[in-house]
Amino acid sequence: MGAMSKMRNSTPIILWVLIFSFGILWVLQDTQVFDAMAGGPTHLGSVNGDNISHEEFNNRVSYYVEQHNEQRSTPMTSDMRSYYEEQAWEDLVAERLMAQKMDKLGIKVTDQELINMITGDDPDPFIRQQFADEDGRIDRVALQAAIEAPENQQIWMMIEQQLRQNRSQQKMSNFITSGLRVSSSDIDRAYKKQNSFADIRFIRFPFSEISDDEIEVTDREIRNYYENNKDQFHREESYRFQYVAFDKTPTSEDTLRIKQDVEELRERFAEADDHAEFLRQYESTTEYRDSFVHKDEIRDEYAPVLDLEVGEVSEVYMINGNPHMFKKVDQRDDEIKFAVFSYDVIADPIATIDRLAEEAEEFSFFASEDGFEAEAETQGYEIKTGSATKGTSVVPGMGEARPLVNELERMRRGHISEGIELADKFVVVKMTEVISAGPRPLSEVRSQIENNLRELKRKEAAVQRARDLAQGIESLEELAEVSGKEIQSANNLRLGSNSISGAGREPGIIGAVFGLEEGARSGVLEGSSAAFVIEVVDLDIADPAAMSSDERRNLRQQLEQQKYIVFSEVWLDQMKKDANIRDNRHRLLSR
């Protein structure tokens, strides 16, 4: 049933609703209720009372979008824009938390400091970059003229604000770094990890050699494991939902439109001299390669270029559903230089996308009135089911779907959404279940626990088998003969590495190697994927006393930077937990 038909059937009800509503409005207009409603959130959010405005949020998002358009040839998708919106919000929250922390710590930039950054003996790198002469000296005359020029007043205000912010952040960074001490022993250990090497021989007993028939896992073991390790199965709040999809598949009209767009450029393509610039200007999805290609190496789908004269442009060919034109640029013997102009066929943003958006909104409206399942059956839409987890933008079976997850986080059980735009479709969802955060029930994780226990028992069995074989054995050669295994070698094994050539990722085994003496043989060692017996052929442990002053300084800087990054992330997460962060995006951005 169409929308207009349903609205005609609902006309008597709608009229009574309108009459009643206007009556209520007349009664309420002399009260303060509208003032209270107007007192709703006017800011996008706040951090400990410091408001985040809609304007600065939009400016930050616009910056990310501009960077995307400059650096990528792919068009902006709704999922990508949602990602940038989330990033903008996180940035603004982090900036306010850091600024508040700096205020609390008394970290400020005085006016005199700012003056010194601009006109002092050692100005900020930005000032030096703008006003340095050929010899690297600051052109004081030009700098002073720029400062005194009335037309530069607004620009200088922006520069001063940025310089003050940069210096504040540098002070904060110095404050954090000052508390992250890197000791001499830290540097010595790092130097040893980077410069200590070993040559080894080893025999490997893979855990995978223990078959499932040799392992038994009981129900009691599964239950005990679950009770003792519930924290392993914690999940965030999650959602189950039904949805109807409106795919953004281009129509035949969309294909014809794009093909006509390409055809209309045929004459200009033929007249173009700078083919790289032409393809960039008209946003061809195929870039120009200014090189000759032997005719036998030309791809089959590009074969039409072989029949062209130099300077001639082909008709439009549909390749993989997208229109292409070819131009033979030059030819020498059996080699050809050519240009390919192409567009990807996409759904028309008005004729197709807007129509789908309207269909999704229409379905949402009537599904809310008549029921989700009933409306889907009436309009002939297939109902699909899905699940998602709070804070995770990837939805199983749907891929990247941040706008959907954002909407699910605001919905209640039984609620029906408006149309939600994703990269390849619009969806209207009905929330069927909101699952609180906590450990997943045993029934859901039973197979996972059984597999974990099976792998633990497989490992234990493989290690015990290797020990039984190695008992009383004097050499690797003898162990190899008894076990039917091959002796493997790994040379120049670095202490700081995680992998062994021929054995994969084994950081624990590598650590054990450097705990042995040269010429020594280990007992049976338990690794990540196998049991090992190792013999150290050659061992070279680096001496930190051999470090040069430059090496020590560089290592200190590396370690300080690593500590700074880790500490900053943890510190910011803790500040977020302790802060009063109000997020009104769901109330303002959806308007």
Per-residue pLDDT tens over the stretch 81-130: 878 888 888 888 888 888 888 888 888 888 888 888 888 888 888 888 88
Strands laid side by side in the 197-206 sheet = 488-494, 197-206, 530-540, 525-526
Q: Please check whether residue 554 lies inside any domain of the structure.
A: no
Q: Please check whether residue 523 lies inside any domain of the structure.
A: yes
Q: How confident is the model at residue 572 (pLDDT cuts 50, 70, 90)?
A: confident
Of 28-37, 251-260, 414-423, the poorest mean pLDDT is in 28-37
Determine the number of helices (DSSP H) and then strands (DSSP E) in the chain.
Answer: 22, 21
Strands laid side by side in the 335-342 sheet = 293-294, 335-342, 322-332, 317-319
Residue 355, domain CATH = 3.10.50.40
Last residue of a domain, one of 395, 410, 436: 436
Same domain, 376 and 306: no
Whether the pLDDT of residue 55 is over 80: the answer is yes
Whether the pLDDT of residue 452 is over 80: the answer is yes
Q: Is residue 275 a contact partner of residue 327, using CB atoms and an 8 Å limit?
A: yes
Q: What's the first-to-final CA gap in the chain, in angstroms?
A: 29
The pLDDT of residue 41 is 58
Q: Of 336, 296, 302, 306, whose CA–CA distance to 319 is shortest?
A: 302
Q: To 10 degrees, the CA torsion angle through 157, 163, 165, 169?
A: 180
Same domain, 453 and 519: yes
Q: What range defines the domain where residue 1 resides?
A: 1-39
SS3 string, 338-350, reads: EEEEECCCCCCHH
User: Per-residue pLDDT averaged across 406-428, rounded?
Assistant: 92
Last residue of a domain, one of 283, 308, 342: 342
Same domain, 284 and 407: no
Same domain, 270 and 307: yes
- Tell me the per-residue pLDDT of 343-402, one tens digit each, with 9 for 90 and over: 988 888 888 888 999 999 999 999 999 999 999 999 999 999 999 999 888 899 998 888
Name residue 297's amino acid. E
Q: Please check whether residue 299 lies inside any domain of the structure.
A: yes
Same domain, 461 and 503: yes
Same domain, 453 and 475: yes
Same domain, 217 and 302: no
Same domain, 242 and 279: no
Name residue 516's amino acid. L
Same domain, 142 and 217: no
Residue carrying structure tokens 């060919």: 317
Q: Please check whether residue 57 lies inside any domain of the structure.
A: no
Q: How confident is the model at residue 167 (pLDDT cuts 50, 70, 90)?
A: confident
Q: Please check whether residue 587 lies inside any domain of the structure.
A: no
CA distance 134 to 150: 27
Last residue of a domain, one of 436, 459, 493: 436
Same domain, 357 and 243: yes
Q: Please check whether residue 567 lies inside any domain of the structure.
A: no
Number of neighbours of residue 181 by Cβ within 10 angstroms: 10
> What percent of the chain has a predicted confidence (pLDDT) above 70?
91
Higher model confidence: residue 564 or residue 469?
469
Same domain, 241 and 371: yes
Q: Please check whether residue 55 lies inside any domain of the structure.
A: no
Provide the number of structural domains found in the chain: 5
Same domain, 168 and 244: no
Of 244-258, 442-456, 520-534, 570-584, the poorest mean pLDDT is in 570-584
The pLDDT of residue 265 is 93
Q: Please check whether residue 99 lies inside any domain of the structure.
A: no
